[in-house]
């Protein structure tokens, strides 16, 4: 009888442990999907909620989309997580979280935008401002989104320091889209934010031709000699930060040009906090890829007002080593 009681207690304890391990992803203990406020807060939150609902439909896991107050808050949330967070960090956020937690974060998928797993940082200014090079930024007012943004602040700051640029003042906007709007409305002289390759016509893509790093960021879009658009019948599509405001500011491409670029920067990613259950991670990685491959999912992920992802690609931590070097971080010892 005593042995039976011990066996029963052992089974109950074992079942209890399994129950606790499986508790994550339930209604009472949802998984947190952490979002970065890189564009308009309301738009990012709405998209995150839609993604969480779709992932529930695909996996049965309860997920709560949470947008942090700023870039640093995202890092802190991951740094103190207890195995219950999946997030979408920027390049610099992922690198910093990895450094601050001694690798207690696991990357799974990189974003793909129009076939590219990289992007860059661009310096934007009014075409009639007289700002034509980095040297022209001296003494000018710099508009940026957040001091922890890879393309909005950290990368351009490195390039400015290396080039001896000293700005005359700064305006912090809280989001990439806000920075472009602030530039258009004259709150500063130039802004920095994400840049994207110009998009070649499908006929050229079918032949294997596309923009490559080192090409003019406005290749086959803007005629720099005549200060006007390339002829429409041969014009490529420009899909950088300006696209996010083009609906409300239809003259943005005529008014705002690209002064300089820095990079290339490895794309942002899907990453899991250390200790996240492997079985749930595998389910979510598959579900995320299934979602973006559906018409409904692609419409959410590829929205220029959200994160503008067109696909997701499996990656490992080595993907970010080039950017670690650019930002002054040590390359992890993986021996």
Domain boundaries, given as residue ranges, for the chain: 17-115+267-320, 118-196+239-266
Give me the pLDDT at residue 328, please. Answer: 86
Distance CA 9, CA 3 (A): 10
pLDDT of 198 reads: 96
Distance CA 137, CA 133 (A): 7
pLDDT score for 3:
37
DSSP state of 188: S
CATH fold, domain 17-115+267-320, is D-Maltodextrin-Binding Protein; domain 2 (3.40.190)
Pairwise CA distance, residues 322 & 331, whole Å: 9
Q: Which pLDDT belongs to residue 77?
A: 94
- Please tell me if the domain spanning 17-115+267-320 has the same topology as the one spanning 118-196+239-266: yes
Return all residues near 208 (Cβ < 8 A) that are at least 6 apart: none
Instruction: Report how far apart, in Å, the C-alpha atoms of 281 and of each of 60, 90, 272, 313, 318 are.
Output: 13, 19, 8, 15, 20
Ordered alpha helix ranges (H), 60-209: 71-79, 91-100, 155-163, 176-184, 202-206
pLDDT digit string, tens, across residues 277-315: 999 999 999 999 999 999 999 999 999 888 889 999 999
Position 13 scores a pLDDT of: 36
Reported as a single tens digit per residue, the pLDDT across 136-148 is 999 999 999 999 8
pLDDT at 136: 98
**Which residues of the chain, if any, have pLDDT below 70?**
1-22
CATH class assigned to 118-196+239-266? alpha beta
Task: State residue 10's pLDDT score.
Answer: 37
What pLDDT score was predicted for residue 22? 56
102: left (phi > 0), else alpha (psi -120 to 50), else beta?
Answer: left
Contact residues for 38 (Cβ-Cβ < 8 A; gap 6+) = 44, 90, 145, 149, 175, 176, 307
């Amino acid at each position: 009888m005593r042995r039976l009681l011990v066996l029963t207690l052992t089974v109950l304890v074992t079942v209890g442990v399994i129950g606790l391990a499986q508790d994550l992803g339930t209604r009472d203990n949802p998984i947190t999907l952490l979002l970065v406020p890189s564009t308009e807060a309301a738009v990012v939150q709405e998209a995150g909620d839609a993604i969480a609902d779709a992932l529930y439909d695909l996996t049965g896991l309860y997920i709560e989309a949470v947008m942090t107050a700023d870039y640093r808050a995202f890092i802190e949330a991951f740094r103190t997580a207890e195995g219950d967070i999946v997030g979408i960090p920027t390049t610099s956020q992922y690198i910093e979280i990895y450094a601050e937690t001694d690798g207690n974060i696991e990357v799974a998928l990189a974003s793909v935008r129009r076939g590219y797993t990289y992007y860059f940082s661009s310096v934007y200014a009014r075409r009639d401002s007289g700002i034509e090079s980095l040297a022209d930024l001296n003494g000018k007012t710099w508009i940026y989104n957040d001091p922890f943004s890879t393309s909005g602040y950290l990368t351009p700051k490195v390039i400015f320091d290396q080039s001896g640029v000293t700005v005359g003042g700064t305006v912090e906007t809280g989001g990439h889209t806000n920075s472009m709007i602030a530039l258009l409305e004259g709150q500063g002289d130039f802004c920095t934010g994400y840049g994207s390759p110009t998009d070649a016509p499908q006929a050229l893509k079918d032949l294997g031709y596309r923009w490559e790093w080192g090409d003019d960021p406005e290749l086959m879009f803007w005629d720099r000699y005549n200060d006007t658009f390339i002829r429409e019948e041969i014009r490529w599509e420009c899909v950088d930060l300006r696209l996010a405001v083009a609906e409300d500011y239809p003259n943005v491409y005529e008014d705002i040009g690209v002064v300089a670029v820095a990079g290339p920067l490895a794309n942002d990613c899907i990453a899991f906090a250390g200790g996240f259950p492997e079985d749930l991670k595998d389910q979510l990685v598959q579900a995320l890829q299934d979602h973006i491959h559906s018409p409904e999912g692609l419409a959410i992920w590829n929205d220029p007002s959200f994160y503008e992802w067109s696909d997701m690609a499996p990656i490992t931590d080595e993907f970010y080593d080039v950017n670690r070097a650019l930002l002054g971080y040590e390359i992890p010892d993986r021996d």
